[in-house]
Amino acid sequence: MRIVPLRLCSAGLIALASLAAVVVPVVIRAGDDRNVPDRSPIALAVSADGKRLLSANQTSGSVSLVDLDAGRVLDELKTGEKPAGVAISRDGRLGIVAHWYGGEIAVLGIQGNKLAIAGRVEVGPEPRGVVLSRDGKTAYVAIGVANEVARVDLARRAVTGRLTVEREPRNIAISADDKTLIVGCARGRSVAIIDVPGWKVARTIPIDGENLRQVALSADGKQGYVANMRNRRFPTTRSNIDLGWVLGQRLTRFGTSGSIEFETLTLDTQGKAASDAHGVAISQDGRLIAVSCGGTHEVMIFRTDGKPLPWRMNSSRDLIAPELLRNDGRYRRVNLGGRPTELAFGPDSKTLYVANYLENAIQVVDADSAQVVRSIALGGPKTITLARKGEMLFHAAERSFNQWYSCNTCHSDGHTNGLDFDTLNDGWQDRSTFHERSRKKVPTLRGTTKTGPWTWHGWQKSLDDAMVESFTKSMQGSRPSSEDVRALVAYLGTLEYPPNPHRNKDGSLPAAAVRGREVFRSPRAACNTCHGGEEFTDGKIHEVGLEVAEDRYRGYNPPSLKGLYDKDPYLHDGRAKTLREILTGDHSPEKVTGLGSLSEQELNDLLAYLKCL
Ligand code: HEC
Ligand code: HEC
């Protein structure tokens, strides 16, 4: 896909200017702003002198250049599909933005108050986090679907190295001496420590956590931090939830060298939990640590001077350490509204910048006094669309019991966190010792409005009713209004699959996949009898041998096979880690149709085809 760099339409610029408190004699009437996009900043980067900030705006596909002294947007440029990460050089003259749905990074020149695209480099499928070396000559990118970190020589505009890390690297940070990179791998449940001069993965640290988001390093590069959640695997009952036994939020710390594995701080207070830990930042003097929680609309600020924080080695507490609740200034919660995502401290070690996705703003917090001192509007429509209302509900933890989680906790970014839960969506919960038999993998919500019936068993015939179930059963919260349901369904309708990285550039199938399509449709495999049609599902219920005696609903609905390469782990309980495991194990053609097995060649071709869907 080619992306043509375009300045924002004039309406966008006018809205931008007026919201940024510049006096512009333009009246925007309600309804006039339908083409003004939400900005939804998901990531930010601050120049070394603390004067300039770049934000990666996910909904508008743009980058904003912000003057932090004046508190206003200097320029904004449409850069590409779904920006996910952004970096700025120390001198503030160069920016890099990673396009999650574009498979590339754009190099941005910053001249005076203007942004311009200086070039693009294809890096691989679903790049997320990006950082720059101190001299601004090399970029390092976390590539979510390739499970790689790419090194990009910016002068040559070429990838000069790739390292394999664990599943779904999302965020990346670099030490001040350029020697160490840390990468949080969400579905790998681990952190990779990369030795940059030796260009190798020096260590992989498995952590007690999932859904890893922003990572940060202490100024001396010795300690790494990641904001993450923890799946405790107990059934979703109110009492389990409030004990911290279903899922909880954590700040995890690890040494970048030596043998210390990891330590955690639990962020949840009973009765008033934290939700969707996303951003983390450490002040340069090491005195303050900030963690944003998107679902509970807040930033938590920890002070490390005085007493050391109550880190728990190699495991975690169910609830926040009681000593932090003494109101002595070591731990404070600052309400920000919206969905705070990435964080960065300014060079003064006390000014904290927050990308607030749902507020369409960069917020400035004085971390010493725990006060919001400014909100810099990036622009957005004046009237909130129905889909945006749905997006707000999707990220609102207060809609769950004691605000423990939001839809986004499980269906991360509208996709899946790759975990399984024992919700009541299938009619029962396994109360036996290991709670395994009724667990269900979190399905992606991409394309979900087109693939009824819903739930793995497919018993749910109405998406509207499915929303009510999600609020009252998965979230153990109050019933949604009919307006809430309409809004959520409108939002779900916006969730699309990324472009498929396994197809040829022109979208056609490679030769092996063409052969695999024949296997898929052959009478022996007969995959298309159940996974047929445009969405690769017949919408019916089939018993394919994966049922257990206690199931409240018989059989399963064939899941859509779209975007399969990134839906791991597979099957209703996530029992298969790879596509090959499905087709040689519990869902092999012999087992499903009983019409005979596939040769190794046929199997490889079929796998090549499945990856292209
Ligand atoms: C605790 C994790 C969790 C939370 C929170 C959660 N879900 Fe789910 N969701 C699941 C699981 C697990 C399933 C599969 C359940 C099943 O099939 O029995 C599911 C299924 C669904 C489905 C059906 C998808 C399909 O293709 O069949 C939709 C739609 C959905 N969830 C939307 C939501 C919305 C909207 C929210 C917030 C109101 C939400 N979920 C909150 C875990 C969660
Ligand atoms: C008789 C109907 C039927 C046939 C034939 C069939 N499937 Fe399935 N398939 C299902 C059902 C039902 C499920 C869900 C089962 C579960 O998760 O317990 C499923 C699940 C899958 C999944 C897992 C998807 C995910 O997101 O986890 C894949 C991949 C898959 N099938 C591929 C195939 C292929 C390839 C073939 C042909 C070799 C095939 N299926 C034949 C009904 C069928």
| Tens digit of each residue's pLDDT (9 = 90 or more) over 134-183 | 999 999 999 999 999 999 999 999 999 999 999 999 999 999 999 999 99
Q: What's the rounded Cα separation, in Å, for the pair 417 and 23? A: 44
Q: What's the rounded Cα separation, in Å, for the pair 31 and 358? A: 20
Q: What's the rounded Cα separation, in Å, for the pair 53 and 412? A: 26
Q: Is any ligand 2 atom within 6 A of the Cβ of residue 567? A: yes
Q: Ligand 2 center to residue 39 CA distance, Å? A: 38
Q: Ligand 2 center to residue 540 CA distance, Å? A: 12
For a pocket test of ligand 2, which of 420, 451, 542, 544 has the largest count of ligand atoms closer than 8 A to its C-beta? 544
For a pocket test of ligand 1, which of 238, 429, 470 has the largest count of ligand atoms closer than 8 A to its C-beta? 470
Query: For 219-263, what is each residue's pLDDT tens digit?
Result: 999 999 999 999 998 888 899 999 999 999 999 999 999 776 899
Give the burial class of 461: count Cβ atoms within 10 A of its Cβ; 0-12 exposed, 13-18 middle, 19 or more buried: exposed
Q: Which ligand is nearest to the CA of 580?
A: 2
pLDDT, residue 32, reads 58
* Sign, Cα dihedral of 559, 564, 567, 571: positive
Q: Which ligand is nearest to the CA of 597?
A: 2
pLDDT, residue 436, reads 78
Hey, whose CA ends up nearest to atom 10 of ligand 1?
A: 442
Q: Which ligand is nearest to the CA of 567?
A: 2
Q: What's the rounded Cα separation, in Å, for the pair 289 and 374? A: 20
Q: What's the rounded Cα separation, in Å, for the pair 555 and 266? A: 39
Q: What's the rounded Cα separation, in Å, for the pair 479 and 469? A: 8
Q: Among the atoms of ligand 2, which is closest to the Cα of residue 543? A: 12
Q: Is any ligand 2 atom within 6 A of the Cβ of residue 530? A: yes
Regions of the chain where pLDDT drops below 70: 1-34, 260
**Among the listed residues 298, 134, 288, the one whose alpha carbon sits nearest the alpha carbon of residue 218:** 288
Q: Ligand 1 center to residue 459 CA distance, Å? A: 14
Q: Among the atoms of ligand 2, which is closest to the Cα of residue 572? A: 17
Hey, whose CA ends up nearest to atom 20 of ligand 1?
A: 455
Query: For 450-467, what is each residue's pLDDT tens digit?
Result: 999 999 999 899 999 999
Hey, whose CA ends up nearest to atom 5 of ligand 1?
A: 407
pLDDT, residue 431, reads 79
Q: What's the rounded Cα separation, in Å, for the pair 186 and 171? A: 9
For a pocket test of ligand 1, which of 389, 455, 468, 471 has the largest count of ligand atoms closer than 8 A to its C-beta? 455
Task: Tell which phi-psi region holds residue 297, choosing left (phi > 0), alpha (psi between -120 and 50) or beta.
Answer: left
Contact 187, 419 (CB under 8 A): no
Hey, whose CA ends up nearest to atom 16 of ligand 1?
A: 455
**Among the listed residues 255, 259, 266, the one whose alpha carbon sits nearest the alpha carbon of residue 193:** 255
Q: Is any ligand 2 atom within 6 A of the Cβ of residue 514? A: no
Q: Is any ligand 2 atom within 6 A of the Cβ of residue 542? A: yes
For a pocket test of ligand 2, which of 441, 531, 578, 605 has the largest count of ligand atoms closer than 8 A to its C-beta? 531
Q: Ligand 2 center to residue 233 CA distance, Å? A: 25
Q: Which ligand is nearest to the CA of 491?
A: 1
Q: Is any ligand 2 atom within 6 A of the Cβ of residue 564? A: yes
Q: Which ligand is nearest to the CA of 556?
A: 2
For a pocket test of ligand 2, which of 518, 520, 530 has the largest count of ligand atoms closer than 8 A to its C-beta? 530
Hey, whose CA ends up nearest to atom 3 of ligand 1?
A: 410
Tokens of 588: 């092999």
pLDDT, residue 548, reads 84
pLDDT, residue 20, reads 38
Q: Among the atoms of ligand 1, which is closest to the Cα of residue 488? A: 35
Q: Is any ligand 2 atom within 6 A of the Cβ of residue 439? A: no
Q: Ligand 2 center to residue 97 CA distance, Å? A: 38
Q: Which ligand is nearest to the CA of 568?
A: 2
Q: Which ligand is nearest to the CA of 247?
A: 1
Q: Among the atoms of ligand 1, which is closest to the Cα of residue 423? A: 12
pLDDT, residue 430, reads 79
Q: Among the atoms of ligand 1, which is closest to the Cα of residue 471? A: 38
pLDDT, residue 33, reads 65
Q: Ligand 2 center to residue 458 CA distance, Å? A: 13
Pocket of ligand 1 (CB under 6 A): 236, 405, 407, 409-411, 421, 423, 425-426, 440, 442-443, 445, 448, 451, 454-456, 466-467, 470-471, 474-475, 488
Q: Is any ligand 2 atom within 6 A of the Cβ of residue 571? A: yes
What burial letters (b/e) apply to 49-70, b meaning 16+ CB within 10 Å?
Answer: ebebbbbbbbbbbbbbbbbbee
